Amino acid sequence: MVGFGMIFDETYRPVFERRCHDPLYAVESGPVYLRLSAVASRTGERVSRFVASTPIAPFQGIQSFTGAAAIADLLATDCHTVCVATPDDRHFEAARAALIAKKHVLIEKPSVLSLRELDELTQLAAKNGVLAKVVYHKLADPDHKKLRTLYQDGVLRHVNNGYCTLLEPKSISGGQFAEWIAGRNPATYVAVHYLKLIDFTFGPEWSLCRVSATGQRGLVGAATGTTWDSVQLQIVYRHPDQREAAFDIHTSWVAPDNFPGYVDQEVQFRFDNGVWNAHQRKRGVELTVENRTPGELKYTPNYHYNGTFLEPWGERSQRGYGIEVIERFFQEVAFVEFGGSPNERAHRLSAMRALDYNDLSADRNCVAIVQALEAVLGRAASGTPGCVVKVNEPLGGLVLYEPGNATPLVIYHNRV
């Protein structure tokens, strides 16, 4: 692991806790055990606390590296695979170093913040014969799988527009992420979930056209600074029949801590022949326990994402699509490395690379939108709001237009 924070604890920890004794299994690979061997983090404090409080034998041997050489030290160990779960703007260097060291890599969303970085990582993965993948757990949410199934099967036809909102509480921006939030925005952090959902569910036979965004400042940082409280992003795609589809994605990390939807999420997509609505608070459970909600327990928990359970057959478990999607990555690595004869490894590698729900090479539209979004917010923070980025123009792949300026700026030259 590179990074050992909130997302490690929620989704990776349960995988390592279970799979060190209860192996992943596929007919091709047989049983494959996972062992968390080493961690690189900023301070190592969370690793020490975890090791001290976890009485599972394999975790007692974790090597913990900190400081400037932490990632190099981790890569010098015998690990097969590196998971990058550092803050949003600290993924690239770690992933690059791991791919150079010929490790399989899984990166938390947002994979990277620019197409230049994405190009470099995908080239390195191809050259070094390893997987480079990104975690988008919403694709494994059964409701989203059903939405995609209905669309791909032609039951819902031709998406025209939609909106998505995801509101995080103030405790995230003010507490959990206080160390790395300066200069960041909630859209890069969470709109990417919906960017991928839209791109993967309704693509690939369409093209991204335009990206614009605005937002608000003044709570997390200065009203004129570069740290954003909330962001409203609009993306426009064009279908092969030339009709456009537009999506508005609203994100925030300054919702009240006691808001009933702890991470409040709602989406609506409209089609030629239908409407899909999903509302986290309406689909799910509402729970109130005196003195325990909404702090320790949430009013509207999403047990499908992640929950701890007493199974009907007596076992204790922690499961959900947030965990499943991490296990699935390890199954893909296991298939490449142990799924048959070494002579056929290249064939297995290309089969796993062709999975565009998580392969980095299929993350181009999402990274293009993130790069455009960051450029538009950057311009707004330096006094030029209202920019738009157009995609795959004759001038270049990402072209930024400022209001009142006749000269566009190419921020990525190749085709997106």
Ligand X SMILES: NC(=O)c1ccc[n+]([C@@H]2O[C@H](COP(=O)([O-])OP(=O)(O)OC[C@H]3O[C@@H](n4cnc5c(N)ncnc54)[C@H](OP(=O)(O)O)[C@@H]3O)[C@@H](O)[C@H]2O)c1
Could you list the residues that contact ligand X (CB under 6 A)? 2-8, 40-43, 45-46, 70, 85-88, 90, 108-109, 135, 137, 176-177, 189
Read off the DSSP letter of residue 218.
Answer: S
Minimum distance between the CB of residue 38 and ligand X, rounded to whole angstroms?
12
Which is closer to ligand X, CB of 164 or CB of 400?
164
Q: Toward ligand X, which CB reaches closer, 86 or 280?
A: 86
**Quick check: 2 and 40 in contact, CB under 8 A?**
yes
Closest residue by Cα to residue 81 from 116, 51, 36: 36
Q: Nearest 5°: CA angle at 145, between 144 and 146?
A: 90
Residue 2's beta-bridge partner residues? 40, 84
Of the pair 42, 298, the CB lying nearest ligand X is at 42
**CB closer to ligand X, 253 vs 401:** 253
Of the CA atoms within 13 Å of residue 53, those in its CB half-sphere come to 8
- Report the nearest approach of ligand X to the CB of residue 198 (Å): 16
- Taking the least distance from each CB to ligand X, the nearer of 98 and 399 is 98
Q: How far is the CB of 303 from ligand X (least distance, A)?
A: 15
Closer CB to ligand X, residue 189 or residue 206?
189
How many Cβ atoms sit within 10 Å of the Cβ of residue 157? 12
Burial 262-295, CB ≥16 within 10 A → b, else e: bbbbbbebbbeeeebebebbeeeeeeeeeeebbe
Of 9, 86, 28, the residue nearest 339 (C-alpha) = 28
Nearest distance, CB of residue 139 and ligand X, angstroms:
11
Cβ(98)–Cβ(14) under 8 Å? Answer: no
Shortest Cβ 392–ligand X spacing (Å):
27
Nearest by Cα to 58 from 21, 22, 83, 84: 21
Choose between 3 and 396: whose C-beta lies nearer to ligand X: 3
Q: 24 or 70, CB closer to ligand X?
A: 70
Report the relative pairing of strands 244-255 and 63-65 from DSSP bridges: unpaired
Q: Shortest approach of ligand X to residue 190 CB, angstroms?
A: 7
Interatomic CA distance for residues 334 and 117, integer angstroms: 27
- Give the DSSP H/E element, type plus range, for residue 338: helix 321-338
Q: How far is the CB of 205 from ligand X (least distance, A)?
A: 27
Q: To the nearest whole angstrom, how small is the minimum distance from the Cβ of residue 116 to ligand X?
A: 19
